[in-house]
Amino acid sequence: MSPASAKLTVQDLLSQAGIQINGIRPWDLQVNNPRFYRRVLSGGSLALGETYMDGWWDCESVDQFISRLLISDVESRVSTTKIITWKMLRTLLYNPQRKERAFLVGEKHYDLGNELFQNFLDRRMTYSCGYWKHALSLDSAQEAKLDLICRKLNMGRGRTVMDIGCGWGSLARFAAEKYGAKVYGITVSQEQATFAREYCKGLDVELHLRDYRDLGGGTFERVVSVGMFEHVGYKNYPEFFKIVHSNLKENGLFLLQTIGGNVSVKSTDPWIERYIFPNSMIPSAAQITGACEGLFKLEDWHNFGPDYDKTLMCWHENFNKNWDNIKDRYDDRFRRMWNFYLLSSAASFRAGKKQLWQIVFSKVGSAHLYESVR
């Protein structure tokens, strides 16, 4: 395709989403490099993110631009056959989330440096969706989320809790401080483990650098996993639920918080895969319920996906407000990459393409009587 034809094609596609090239509205695209058109037509979402990182285009409001693209489903009209075929073959033939690769996402993402995350997360370092029902700030939304989890699990003094994917220790510390729980947490990030141990020092909290497949079994009254299931992979969902089941007492409760998709997939967006979360995968409701069938009884399913839009926009604001604190460690291409990650993620929730679920399970056959909490 000639450069002129490529430009006309892109103009037509964007116009279907109400977007103009070099227009004056916040969501209009400002093209800085004419090679953008051919590259994005051949590379789809991967090329769109990469060309933004490279400065080939700008937009006053990237989140509005991306949400319009998602709502109009522009990408389905762009041919990226080679990329899609490779992704499908890779996930069908291999298990990208197998145990030998468990620590990859920790090394590539969570170990980027605690200073980075301290400059855009809330004061508790909670790297998951906040709960904004009554909250007016990021700090209060994250505290409300942590408290909601504890109330849903009927947390109490001496309650034994397994936290799978404990992050920087925000939930572990909150449950121990506010509810007197005894928490055992695991993470695949060395940076998180080091920070969390210090953060939870003096509390009844034990934290380890460990993959979930290395857990023992049968000693916890509660199991919780927040923002970790997105790294498990569809081939490993049944094993994950079996491990949770074996670590949970008979009348215990398990709370899973995860980003969710409207349809079942076996791979993730190629730009997210390459630059942000390697080997990640968003589960569907069907994949979750299918994998836990025969093991768990579904007690509660709470969707507050729009709250992740608000959370991500707060992270984006903090990241740019505090950029001067960390710019000596990261270059401008990283800054653009991180902005694209946060804003495109916010757009996906705003467009309804992604959901945020808190799901409460009890064991099949248990005598636990559960009452939903909001």
Residue 369's pLDDT is: 86
Asked whether residue 20 carries a pLDDT value surpassing 80, the answer given is yes
The whole-angstrom distance between residue 83's C-alpha and the CA centroid of its chain comes to 22
Is residue 354 a contact partner of residue 311, using CB atoms and an 8 Å limit? no
Residue 100's pLDDT is: 52
49 by DSSP, 3-state: which? helix
Alpha carbon distance 183, 180 (integer Å): 9
Helix (H) or strand (E) holding 253: strand 248-261
361 by DSSP, 3-state: which? strand
Would you state the structure tokens that stand for residue 205, as one six-digit string? 């909290």
The whole-angstrom distance between residue 58's C-alpha and the CA centroid of its chain comes to 25
Query: In Å, what is the CA distance from 58 to each residue of 9, 111, 118, 260?
Result: 19, 29, 27, 29
Is residue 62 a contact partner of residue 342, using CB atoms and an 8 Å limit? no
Alpha carbon distance 53, 336 (integer Å): 5
Average pLDDT over residues 215-224: 89
Asked whether residue 193 carries a pLDDT value surpassing 70, the answer given is yes
Average pLDDT over residues 296-318: 98
Closest to 164 (Cα-Cα) out of 291, 254, 281, 286: 254
Q: How confident is the model at residue 83 (pLDDT cuts 50, 70, 90)?
A: very low
161 by DSSP, 3-state: which? strand
Q: How confident is the model at residue 311 (pLDDT cuts 50, 70, 90)?
A: very high
Residue 367's pLDDT is: 83
Residue 289's pLDDT is: 98
The residues, ordered by sequence, that sit 6+ positions from 132 with a Cβ below 8 Å of its Cβ are 141, 144, 304, 307, 310, 311
Would you state the structure tokens that stand for residue 287, as one six-digit string? 């994949």
| Secondary structure E strands in 15-107 | 30-31, 57-58
Please, what are the domains in the chain?
3-79 (no CATH), 102-363 (3.40.50.150)
Is residue 163 a contact partner of residue 126, using CB atoms and an 8 Å limit? no
Alpha carbon distance 71, 69 (integer Å): 6
Exposure of 134 by Cβ count < 10 A (0-12 exposed, 13-18 middle, 19+ buried)? exposed
- What's phi and psi for 105, nearest 5 deg? -65, -30
Alpha carbon distance 326, 318 (integer Å): 12
* 217 C-beta neighbours (distance < 10 Å), count: 12
Q: How confident is the model at residue 219 (pLDDT cuts 50, 70, 90)?
A: confident
Alpha carbon distance 160, 252 (integer Å): 10
pLDDT digits (tens, 9 = 90+) for 232-280: 999 999 999 999 999 999 999 999 999 999 999 988 899 999 999 998 9
pLDDT digits (tens, 9 = 90+) for 324-336: 999 999 999 999 9
Asked whether residue 48 carries a pLDDT value surpassing 50, the answer given is yes
